[in-house]
C-alpha cells in the first residue's frame, strides 16, 4: 500500500497529507516562542518518530518496492521552515500561504515531510495575539495511523515544561545503496518470496478477469457509490490548490 502512494504520485496529484495547526504561546516563557526554540524542540524529540529521518530509495526500473533508509544527509532546517504572512495577516492570507505550500510536491530524495512555521497571524478572528501556525505536509507513504501518532508525539507535550526524552538518541545516518546493490536485493526478494508473489497474483486474478471481460464485451457494472457527484470539484485537476 505504501509503495502504491509513491507509484501514483504525479505533478498534478501529489500524495501528501497536510494540516494547519495553530498555537497560542501564552504558556511559553515570556509568552513568546522563537523559531530556533521550535527547531530545538523538534530536534530533541526526533527520536520519537522513525518517519522524521528516513528517506525512500527506489529500485532501478521499479523491480521491487522502494526501501526506507536512514538519511545520510538529514538536515532539520530543510524540513522545518519559517515564513511570515504579508499584511493584513488574516485568515485569507493564511489559507493562501497554506495552499501554495500544499501545491508543491515533496522531494522524495529526502525524508518526505515538511513543517512550515507561519508567523504574522495578527488579524485572524479568535486567535490570540502572538500566535503562530504550523503547516504540516507528510507523504502518505510515510504516515499511517500509528506513525501519525508518533509524529504528533514528537511535535507536542502535555505540559509546557516537559523535558526532552530521557533516553539518549542513538540514531545514526545510513548509506544509500548503489544501483547494483538494490538490484541484487530485489532479485533476492523475488527468489525468496515466491509464495508471496503467487498469493498477490491469486488475489488479483478475479478482479483482473472481470476487468478484461468488461473491456471485451464493453459491459461494466459500477456501483452508484463509485460515481462522483457533479460539482465544480469533479473535473481535471491542476497542481494548484485552494484552502
pLDDT in tens, 210-234: 666 666 666 656 566 667 778 877 7
Query: Residues 6 or more apart from 232 whose CB is under 8 A from it?
Result: none
Average pLDDT, the chain: 85
Q: How confident is the model at residue 129 (pLDDT cuts 50, 70, 90)?
A: confident
Sign of CA dihedral 139, 144, 147, 148: positive
> Tell me, what's the pLDDT at 144?
76
Is domain 2-178 in CATH 3.30.559.10, yes or no? yes
> Lowest mean pLDDT: which of 147-151, 179-183, 194-198?
194-198
Distance CA 92, CA 118 (A): 13
Catalytic residue selected from 16, 79, 139, 140: 140
Contacts 24+ apart (CB under 8 A), 60-65: 60/179, 60/182, 60/183, 62/7, 63/183, 63/186, 63/187, 63/190, 64/182, 64/185, 64/186, 64/189, 64/190, 65/2, 65/3
> Tell me, what's the pLDDT at 7?
82
Q: Encode pLDDT of 229-242 as tens digits.
A: 788 777 777 887 77
Task: Say whether 79 is catalytic.
Answer: no
How many helices (H) and strands (E) the chain has is answered by: 7, 6
Q: Encode pLDDT of 14-45 as tens digits.
A: 899 999 999 999 888 888 899 999 999 999 99
> Tell me, what's the pLDDT at 37?
93
> Tell me, what's the pLDDT at 83?
96
- What 3-state DSSP class applies to 167? coil
Q: Encode pLDDT of 49-92 as tens digits.
A: 888 999 999 988 888 889 999 999 999 999 999 999 988 899 99
Query: Residues 6 or more apart from 116 whose CB is under 8 A from it?
Result: 80, 81, 82, 83, 101, 134, 135, 137
Mean pLDDT of 195-209: 64
Q: How confident is the model at residue 195 (pLDDT cuts 50, 70, 90)?
A: low
Domain residue ranges of the chain, discontinuous segments joined by +: 2-178, 193-223
Amino acid at each position: 500500500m505504501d509503495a502504491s502512494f509513491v507509484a501514483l504520485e504525479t505533478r498534478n496529484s501529489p500524495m501528501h497529507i497536510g494540516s494547519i495547526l495553530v498555537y497560542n504561546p501564552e504558556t511559553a516563557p515570556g509568552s513568546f516562542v522563537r523559531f530556533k526554540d521550535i527547531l530545538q524542540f523538534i530536534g530533541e524529540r526526533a527520536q520519537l518518530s522513525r518517519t522524521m529521518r528516513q528517506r525512500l530509495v527506489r529500485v532501478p526500473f521499479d523491480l521491487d518496492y522502494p526501501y526506507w533508509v536512514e538519511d545520510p544527509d538529514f538536515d532539520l532546517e530543510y524540513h522545518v521552515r519559517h515564513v511570515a504572512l504579508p499584511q493584513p495577516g488574516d485568515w485569507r492570507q493564511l489559507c493562501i500561504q497554506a495552499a501554495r505550500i500544499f501545491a508543491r510536491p515533496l522531494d522524495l530524495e529526502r525524508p518526505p515531510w515538511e513543517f512550515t512555521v507561519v508567523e504574522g497571524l495578527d488579524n485572524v478572528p479568535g486567535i490570540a495575539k502572538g500566535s503562530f501556525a504550523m503547516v504540516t505536509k507528510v507523504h502518505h507513504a510515510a504516515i499511517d495511523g500509528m506513525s501519525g501518532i508518533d509524529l504528533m508525539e514528537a511535535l507536542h507535550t502535555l505540559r509546557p515544561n516537559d523535558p526532552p526524552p530521557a533516553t539518549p538518541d542513538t540514531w545514526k545516518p545510513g548509506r544509500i545503496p548503489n544501483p547494483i546493490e538494490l538490484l541484487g536485493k530485489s532479485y533476492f526478494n523475488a527468489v525468496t518470496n515466491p509464495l508471496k508473489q503467487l498469493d498477490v497474483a491469486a488475489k488479483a486474478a478475479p478482479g483482473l478477469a472481470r476487468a478484461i471481460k468488461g473491456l471485451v464485451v464493453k459491459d461494466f457494472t459500477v456501483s452508484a457509490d463509485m460515481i462522483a457527484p457533479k460539482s465544480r470539484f469533479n473535473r481535471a485537476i491542476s497542481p494548484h490548490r485552494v484552502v
